[in-house]
Structure 1
Amino acid sequence: MAEAYPWQEALWQQLAGRTQHAHAYLLHGPQGIGKRALAERLMALLLCQRPKGLEACGECKSCLLLAAGSHPDNYVLEPEDTDKPIKVDQVRDLVSFIVQTAQLGGRKVVLIEPVEAMNINAANALLKSLEEPSGDTVLLLVSHQPSRLLPTIKSRCLQQACPLPGFEQSLAWLGKALPDSDEQERLELLTLAAGSPLAAVSLQAQGVREQRALVVDGVKKLLKQQSSPSQLAEAWSAVPLLLLFDWFCDWSNLVLRYQLTQDEEGLGLADMRKVVQYLAQKSSQGKVLEIQDWILVQRQKVLAKANLNRVLLLESLLVSWAMLTAQR
């Protein structure tokens, strides 16, 4: 049974309480807030033969088959490999499933995550099934980045934004999810996860705090001319590229914010506050805006799974970063 998160309760009452369901839902919001669990919970309810109130019973034939991963009227579509696109052949297999008659005589339910992983051909292959799914079929599309979806995909779904929990609610939940961590560690993880509690748990499992310490130390050495861009690009080989771009994008935002406000409360996590303040005082807004634009473009390429030369990309980033404090 999928976990029921407290911050989803109002949305769950709204979705589960519907007397008539849409043929396609687009559940969207930041990664790490429990959208997949919400979709799985709704999937179980839609397939259940004897629902108990607003929940699946967990005991009927349909619930038992779903729990065993062998329900004939349930289809989950996701990338075959992590960080790979959903291919058009996968969508064609899904379309073949959709046109079939439900074997248990009830609904067929499809879950696609993340829907933005579909390439253009795969997305186009899904359009007709999204518009007119055969029989009593419900499609649950989960998206972390709805801005990357084709308008024709979004227009065929009932779009539902999923709530991000409040900071205090997230910290309380993390206290139970990570009982061996202290409050400061949970606070740092939640900040690094942009307030998404499940993402914070994932970051902790990946050892992201240790990776960030390595990167922060490297940035300080770069600015002191104690390490070169090529040395750091090599030293950071184990750090995910997207994480690096997220951090540098965040730091450039903090630099700009301090240049505009001089607000020392808005300097971010303690590990980079002095560096952010130094860069804000020594660099021009024009240079910071220029490198921020470049970072955003490269980050988008990473998200799009472009074939990038990681070392050259990081060297370019670090050369530009080091040049921020050069003569204006």
Structure 2
Amino acid sequence: MAEAYPWQDSLWQQLAGRPRHAHAYLLHGPAGIGKRALAERLMARLLCQKPVGTDACGLCKACLLLAANTHPDAFVLEPEEADKAIRVDQVRELVEFVVQTAQLGGRKVVLLEPAEAMNINASNALLKSLEEPSGDTVLLLVSHQPSRLLPTIKSRCQQQACPLPGTEQSQAWLKAALPEASPEQLQELLVLAGGSPLSVLRLEGQGVRTQRAEVVEGVKKLLKQQVGASQLAEGWNAVPLPLLFDWFCDWVQLMLRYQLTRDESGLGLGDMHKVVQYLADKAPQHKVLAMQDWLLQQRQKVINKANLNRVLLLEALLVRWASLPGPG
């Protein structure tokens, strides 16, 4: 059974309690808030032969087959390899599944995640099934970045924003999941994860606090001219590029905010307070804005899995960063 997260209670009651369902849902929201689990829970509820209230019973033939990943009327589509595209051939298999008759005499349910992983051809191949699914079929699309989806995909789905938990809910859930972490550590991890508690577990598992300390120390040494851009770029191999660009984008945004407000309470996490404040004081605003534009452009390339030379990209980032203080 998929985990039921407390911050999804209201949305779950709304979705599972419907007497009739849309033919396609687009469940969207930030990564790490449990959208996949919500979709799996809804799939189980839609396929269950003897539901108990708003949940699947877990005991009927349909539930047992689903738990064993052998349900003939359930279809899960995802990239064949992590961070790869969903290909048109995969979507064609989905289309063939949709036009078949349900083998257990009930619904057919498709779960596709992440929807933005479909390339253009795959997205176009899905359109007809989204518009006119055969029989009693429900398609559940999960997206972490709905802005990357074709408008024709989004318009054919009932779009459902999934809730981000509040700080107190996240802290309570994480306290049970990471009992050894202090409240201060949990709050720091939540900030690093953009408020997504499931992302906290992933980031903590990859050693994000150690990585963050390494990057912050490197940035400080760079500004003091104690280390070069090339050396730093080569030394950050273990830190994921999306994480690096998230941090630098965040620091630039904090610099701009401080330049406009002079509010020292809005400088972000304590490890970069002095650096952000120093750069905000020393860098002309037009250079900070140019840095932000460049970072956002490169971040988009990273997100889109462009074929980038990692070391050269980070060198370019660090050279620009080191040149922020002073006129120009």
2:241 is matched with 241
1:150 is matched with 150
Contact 2:284 2:326 in 1 (8 A): no
1:109 aligns with 2:109: yes
Question: In the TM superposition, what is the alpha-carbon distance from 1:206 to its structure 2 partner?
Answer: 1.0
* Matching residue's letter, 1:262: R
Considering only aligned residues, what root-mean-square deviation do their CA atoms show, in Å?
A: 0.7
1:46 aligns with 2:40: no
Cα distance between partner residues in 2 of 1:297 and 1:227 = 26
2:296 is matched with 296
2:266 is matched with 266
Cα distance between partner residues in 1 of 2:56 and 2:187 = 35
1:167 aligns with 2:167: yes
Question: In the TM superposition, what is the alpha-carbon distance from 1:142 to its structure 2 partner?
Answer: 0.4
1:64 is matched with 64
1:81 is matched with 81
What secondary structure sits across from 1:324 in the alignment?
Answer: coil
* Matching residue's letter, 2:93: D
Question: In the TM superposition, what is the alpha-carbon distance from 1:225 to its structure 2 partner?
Answer: 0.4
1:189 is matched with 189
2:322 is matched with 322
Provide Cα deviations, 1:200-252, integer angstroms capped at 9, x if missing partner. 11111111111111110100010000111100000001111110000000000
Question: In the TM superposition, what is the alpha-carbon distance from 1:99 to its structure 2 partner?
Answer: 1.0
Cα distance between partner residues in 2 of 1:180 and 1:92 = 47
Q: Which moved more, 1:294-303 or 1:177-186?
A: 177-186
Question: In the TM superposition, what is the alpha-carbon distance from 1:327 to its structure 2 partner?
Answer: 2.6
* Matching residue's letter, 2:46: L
Question: In the TM superposition, what is the alpha-carbon distance from 1:75 to its structure 2 partner?
Answer: 0.7
Contact 2:26 2:143 in 1 (8 A): yes
* Matching residue's letter, 1:174: L
Contact 2:284 2:327 in 1 (8 A): no
What secondary structure sits across from 1:325 in the alignment?
Answer: coil
2:255 is matched with 255
Cα distance between partner residues in 2 of 1:85 and 1:216 = 33
Question: In the TM superposition, what is the alpha-carbon distance from 1:122 to its structure 2 partner?
Answer: 0.7
What secondary structure sits across from 2:323 in the alignment?
Answer: helix
Cα distance between partner residues in 2 of 1:317 and 1:19 = 53
Cα distance between partner residues in 2 of 1:327 and 1:297 = 23
* Matching residue's letter, 1:185: Q
Cα distance between partner residues in 1 of 2:326 and 2:241 = 26
Question: In the TM superposition, what is the alpha-carbon distance from 1:93 to its structure 2 partner?
Answer: 1.1
* Matching residue's letter, 2:129: S
Cα distance between partner residues in 2 of 1:173 and 1:140 = 26
Provide Cα deviations, 1:87-108, integer angstroms capped at 9, x if missing partner. 1111111111111111111101
What secondary structure sits across from 2:141 in the alignment?
Answer: strand
2:13 is matched with 13
1:30 is matched with 30
Identity %: 76
Question: In the TM superposition, what is the alpha-carbon distance from 1:305 to its structure 2 partner?
Answer: 1.0
Cα distance between partner residues in 2 of 1:80 and 1:233 = 31
Cα distance between partner residues in 1 of 2:89 and 2:180 = 44
Question: In the TM superposition, what is the alpha-carbon distance from 1:326 to its structure 2 partner?
Answer: 2.9
The TM-score normalised by the length of structure 2 is: 0.99
Provide Cα deviations, 1:277-324, integer angstroms capped at 9, x if missing partner. 000000011111101111111111111111111111111100000000
Cα distance between partner residues in 2 of 1:34 and 1:23 = 22
Unpaired segments ≥5 residues, structure 1 = none
The TM-score normalised by the length of structure 1 is: 0.99
1:92 is matched with 92
Unpaired segments ≥5 residues, structure 2 = none
